[in-house]
Amino acid sequence: MKVIVSAGPTFEDIDPARFIGNRSSGKMGFAIAAEAARRGAEVLLVAGPVHLPTPEGVTRIDVRSAAHMHEAVTSALPASIYIGAAAVADFTPQTFSSTKLKKQTGSETLTLELVRTRDILADVAAHALRPRRVVGFAAETNDIEHYARGKLAAKRIDMICANRVGMAGSGFEADDNTLQVFWKDGDATLGPAPKADIAVLLLDLIDKELA
């Protein structure tokens, strides 16, 4: 079985000195990749800019931007399962400045034009080489079930794992996590627990509910 996992943030470059990013550490995705490899899967981990060691038995591709991650994931198809645990930027600067943007005399503001990035989850789900199962993640601050189920339907994926960010002990940068998992005919809560334990519970759930 081939499993593709994407993990970590993406960095969308503004100029040679600055970028737009987020607080994802990649720990959840790396834990999932490690557990899938432990179970005997052939695992490809597409990792955004993180400072984590490659799990044993996992092949790793490092990327930086949402566009790079999209290319790496879709180029790796076909696969049995895709688990999109990465916190991919929704927007990227429309243009990249090859020189550092300078403060303008007399101006107190800077306007950046942002454009939508390609939706990796939706594109994988609609791909001619679509994996048998496509699992996504959603980082939310409120109305978790509403937004998660909306993404489940809109992206036409099989399962979505929502976690609350912006609070201590869960989500970005933390070692522990709590996931609210939704699929067409059900839902489950995993955790709170260390992310390695959450990975075990999640893969068990995928095996059980998406068999």
Give the whole-angstrom CA distance, residue 191 versus residue 178.
5
Could you list the active site residues? 22
Cα–Cα nearest to 46, from 20, 17, 66, 23:
66
Q: Count of CB atoms within 10 A of residue 166's CB?
A: 12
In the chain, how long is the greatest CA-to-CA distance?
Answer: 62
SS3 label, residue 200: helix
Residues pairing with 133 in the sheet = 81
Please answer whether residues 43 and 76 qualify as being in contact, where contact means their C-beta atoms are separated by less than 8 angstroms: no
Report in angstroms the alpha-carbon separations of 51 from 32, 178, 183: 16, 22, 32
Give the whole-angstrom CA distance, residue 97 versus residue 38.
43
Q: Count of CB atoms within 10 A of residue 154's CB?
A: 11
Q: What is the DSSP letter of 87?
A: B
Residues in the chain: 211
Instruction: Work out the end-to-end distance of the chain between its first and last CA atoms, rounded to an integer number of angstroms.
Output: 13
